[in-house]
Amino acid sequence: MWIYVLRRTLLLIPIFFVISIVVFSLIHAVPGDPIDSLLGPGSLAEDRDILVKAYGLDKPLPVQYYLWISAFVSGDMGQSIIEKQPVSDMIFYNIPFTLRLGLASLFISFTLGILIGIISASARNTIIDYIGMIIALLGVTVPAFWLGLILMLIFSVMLGWFPVSGSGSWQTLVLPAITVGLGGAGLIARITRASMLEMFNQEFILLLYAKGLSQYSIIVKHVFRNALIPVITILGLRLGWILGGAVTIEIVFSRPGIGNMLLTALYRRDYPVVQASLLFLTMAVIIGAFITDIIYSYADPRVRDTYK
């Protein structure tokens, strides 16, 4: 199994380079450039030329790519053209915020989702089930940014329980995390319920009852444990979705983070920042999927042997 892990880890390297090329090409396909943002409209051609040369934007694209990527892998992510700071500083400043939001959301999605899923499945077709599934449906249907605004309206403006924006204290994390978390919770709840119901039909359940095990033991130790497997799979595949939600929510709640940084840089065509952030986010998704894969093979023993 460790050979499998090693092989997958090594695969990440070529993936990284491919993505960097894609990201670079896409960014540079965007019309306009950072010089426009720096100088503003009505700038003189000569001033433009000076700046363009200074930032190396006149070199052929492949050369620009090579310069960028070689510096990147040695830790130098370039300078933000707009902010005039090293990009690595900006990224490392913002990562903790996004990380916190991501983890908090993931936690909420997981615990809420699984709880609702198990309860709905166990109380199948009763009123509890319907309520649970309606909540889950709402989680999937409600657009994240709208939910964020509404929550902000109710809990920050009207009730004053939580701050409207910013960062620093745990209170600022609550509303954004719930906003992103609910969407994931809805999805997980539905999948958990479906998975558990399918598990109930499995033949090994009969033997569990025949052994005289308690209902609780059967549901928690066996049904749920088996039902978890598809949930983990879906989770790994949907990590990108959750991360995407985090990006928009940072804007809504004016929270610092990679998403916020990316969007601002995108408006201003700040290439180095956009490239680095996109690369980071994409690799985060891929690494997340990779970790989920490993957890999955740990959860399902049948999968482990495929990789001997």
Partner 1 sequence: MNQNDGIADKYPSPGTVILKRLSANKMGIIGTILILTLILTATFAPLLEPYSFKEQNIENMNAPPSESHLLGTDEFGRDLLSRIIRGARISFVVGVLSVAISVIAGVTIGAIAGFYGGMIDVVLTTMADLTWSMPAILIALLLVAIIGPGLESVVLAIGFSYWAEYARLIRGQILSLKEATFIEATRSLGASDYVILFKHLIPNSISPIIVAATLGIGNAIVLEATLGFLGMGAQPPTPSWGAMMSSGTAYLFISPWVIIFPGLAMMITVLGFNLFGDALIDVLDVKNNEAKT
Partner 2 sequence: MSLLKVDNLAVEFRSDKKKIQPISGVSFEMDAGEVLGVVGETGSGKSLTAHAIMGLTALSGGKASGSVQLDNKELLTLSSEEMQTIRGARISFIPQNPMTSLDPVYRVGDQIVEGLRKHSTIDKKEAKHQALDIMGKLRIPDPARVYSQYPHQLSGGLKQRIVIAIGLVTNPQMLIADEPTTALDVTVQAQIMNLFKDQTVARGIGLLLITHDLGVVAQVCDRIAVMYAGNVVEYGKVRAVFEEPKHPYTQALLACIPVMGMEKGSLSSISGNVPSAENYPPGCRYHTRCASVMSKCREQKPAMVIMNNGTGSACHKY
Interface residue list for partner 2 (CB under 8 A) = 202-204, 206-214, 217, 222, 225-226, 229, 299-302, 305
Pick between residue 78 and residue 139 the one whose CB is nearest to partner 1.
Answer: 139
57 binds partner 1 (CB under 8 A): no
31: left (phi over 0), alpha (psi -120 to 50) or beta: beta
Q: Does 291 bind partner 1 (CB under 8 A)?
A: no
**Interface residue with partner 1, options 82, 231, 243, 279 (CB under 8 A):** 243
Quote the tokens at residue 190.
């539905």
Q: How far apart are CA 196 and CA 305, in angstroms?
A: 25
26 binds, among partner 2, partner 1, none (CB under 5 to 8 A by kind): partner 1
Three-class SS of residue 86? strand
- Cβ closer to partner 1: 86 or 240? 240
In this structure, are residues 77 and 265 in contact, taking their beta carbons and an 8 Å threshold? no
Task: List the beta bridge partners of residue 79.
Answer: 86
Interface residue with partner 1 among 105, 248, 275, 297 (CB under 8 A) is 248
* Closest separation in Å from C-beta 266 to partner 1: 6
**Minimum CB distance to partner 2, residue 129 (Å):** 17
Choose among partner 2, partner 1, none what residue 61 binds, the Cβ cut-off being 5 to 8 Å by kind: none
Using the rule CB under 8 A, which residue among 12, 63, 103, 237 binds partner 1? 237
From CA 97, how far away is CA 94, in angstroms rounded? Answer: 6
What are residue 86's DSSP bridge partners? 79
By CB under 8 A, is residue 223 in contact with partner 1?
Answer: no
Choices 34-42, 100-108, 146-154, 203-211; region in contact with partner 1 by CB under 8 A: 146-154
| 83 phi and psi angles, rounded to 5 deg | -85, -15
116-to-69, 135, 177, 226 alpha-carbon distances in Å: 46, 9, 18, 17
Question: Helices 271-299 and 258-267 sit at what angle, rounded to 10 degrees?
Answer: 150
10 Å CB burial of residue 215 (0-12, 13-18, 19+) is exposed
What minimum distance in Å lies between the beta carbon of 115 and partner 1?
A: 21
Instruction: Choose among partner 2, partner 1, none what residue 209 binds, the Cβ cut-off being 5 to 8 Å by kind.
Output: partner 2
**What is the total count of residues that contact partner 1 (CB under 8 A)?**
41
Interaction between residue 205 and partner 1 (CB under 8 A): no
C-alpha 173/C-alpha 165 separation (Å) is 9
| Interface ranges with partner 1 (CB under 8 A) | 15, 18-19, 22, 26-27, 29-31, 137, 140-146, 149-150, 152-153, 157, 237, 239-241, 243-245, 247-248, 251-252, 263, 266, 278, 281-282, 285-286, 289
